[in-house]
Amino acid sequence: MKKKSNFQTTIVLISTGIVFILLTLTMFISNTVIMLLSRHGWISHPPGRSLLPFLIQSGFISILTGTILTLCISHLPLRPIHTLIQAIHSVSEGNFQVKIHLEHPKEFRELSRCFNQMTEELAGIEMLRSDFINNFSHEFKTPMVSILGFAKLLKKGDLSPDEQEEYLNIIIEEAGRLTDLSTNVLNLSKVESISLLTDFSAFNIGEQIRECVVLLESKWGKKGISFNLELEELQIHGNEPLLKQVWMNLLDNAIKFSPEKSEIRLFAQADPTSVKISVQDSGCGMDEATQRSIFDKFYQGDPSHSAEGNGLGLPLVRKIVSLHHGTIDVTSCTGQGSTFTVTLPRRTFTVISKAKPQT
């Protein structure tokens, strides 16, 4: 606080010094002009008396008066600067709620608007950071508590073989959740640091989606889920590994929320301006509130977070699609399943052949 006060005092003294120098120069120039005019007879003064003492006295009085007035009013034009300095100090101390309201002149008004916009963005970033830490801590702590608890039970050694196998399976499952969480966090962090994709290649998107279905067979096979594939053979020009993460996440979600013996439909079709890839399940569906928040980090439709997952897959999907200049939308109704549609601009693909339904 003392440092800030000294800084403001220094500004006032510098301002006063500048005004003092300007007044001195002004009086010197004015007196010189008066003396020259008097010497040439253009200004009259009492005979026998020198004009110099009068000029010195008037100059001294003018400088003294100007300096005193400057000291009294110098803080007025500097008040907006003081306000800005105080606001900057508040922001540097972590207070992102501070606002300034400078109306005049118009340059200060624009400065005020830009400063307030900056603090709003910083406050939003801080809120996201805080939410991320809280949610990550929750998602990390839950499986760790389970692993620790069942490991202690196994250590006792008075369990039946069936109980031991059950507890080991739980530990393996929870360890898998931790692995998925860390992988998704790292992937999301990596993708969010990218502003422009450069590693593009041409590949068959229909073939890639079918490959993803095969890779997830262990999950959908257990539930007896069938697939209806209507995939046009589209040659996509994009980042193949990243787009593979998109289909893996969307398919994994569809399998997770689909009931046993149900069907998942996949569409990949081109129109004159874009290609649309849709993943449609027949699961529990979502209400409108859930649809609005489904792409937020760590958001899960189940407030208790009891469902399998960590709420990072869809934010990762949206970011990857955005890097390809595309969009992702969801349509859903409670009890009637959900459809996620990825739209990519036409310039990223060419049609190889028309879709043939497969099951």
Query: 89 or 211, which is more confident?
Result: 211
pLDDT-wise least confident of 2-16, 73-87, 130-144: 2-16
pTM for the predicted model, two decimal places: 0.56
Q: Which CATH class is domain 201-353?
A: alpha beta
Query: Is the confidence at residue 144, as pLDDT, over 80?
Result: yes
Angle at 257 between CA 270 and CA 249, to 5 degrees: 50
What pLDDT score was predicted for residue 114?
Answer: 85
| Greatest mean pLDDT range, 96-110, 128-142, 231-245, 301-315 | 231-245
Q: Where are the domains of the chain?
A: 2-121, 134-192, 201-353
Rounded to an integer, what distance in angstroms lies between the CA atom of residue 252 and that of residue 61? 87
Q: Are 232 and 351 in contact (CB under 8 A)?
A: yes
Query: Is the confidence at residue 44, as pLDDT, over 60?
Result: no
pLDDT in tens, 189-238: 777 666 666 777 888 888 888 888 888 888 888 888 888 888 777 787 88
Rounded to an integer, what distance in angstroms lies between the CA atom of residue 175 and that of residue 70? 72
Rounded to an integer, what distance in angstroms lies between the CA atom of residue 322 and that of residue 197? 10
pLDDT-wise least confident of 59-63, 105-109, 203-207: 59-63
| Greatest mean pLDDT range, 76-80, 253-257, 303-307 | 253-257
Alpha helices (runs of H) in the chain, residue ranges in sequence order: 2-39, 52-73, 75-92, 106-156, 161-192, 205-215, 217-222, 240-257, 288-293, 313-323
What pLDDT score was predicted for residue 46?
Answer: 54
Rounded to an integer, what distance in angstroms lies between the CA atom of residue 64 and that of residue 57? 11
| Greatest mean pLDDT range, 22-36, 94-108, 249-263, 305-319 | 249-263
| Greatest mean pLDDT range, 2-16, 113-127, 241-255, 298-312 | 241-255
CATH tag, 134-192: 1.10.287.130
Predicted confidence band of residue 304 (pLDDT cuts 50, 70, 90): very low
Predicted confidence band of residue 306 (pLDDT cuts 50, 70, 90): very low
Rounded to an integer, what distance in angstroms lies between the CA atom of residue 229 and that of residue 227? 6
pLDDT average, residue stretch 288-300: 71
String of b and e for 180-202 (b: at least 16 CB within 10 Å)? bbeebbebbeebeeeeeeeeeee
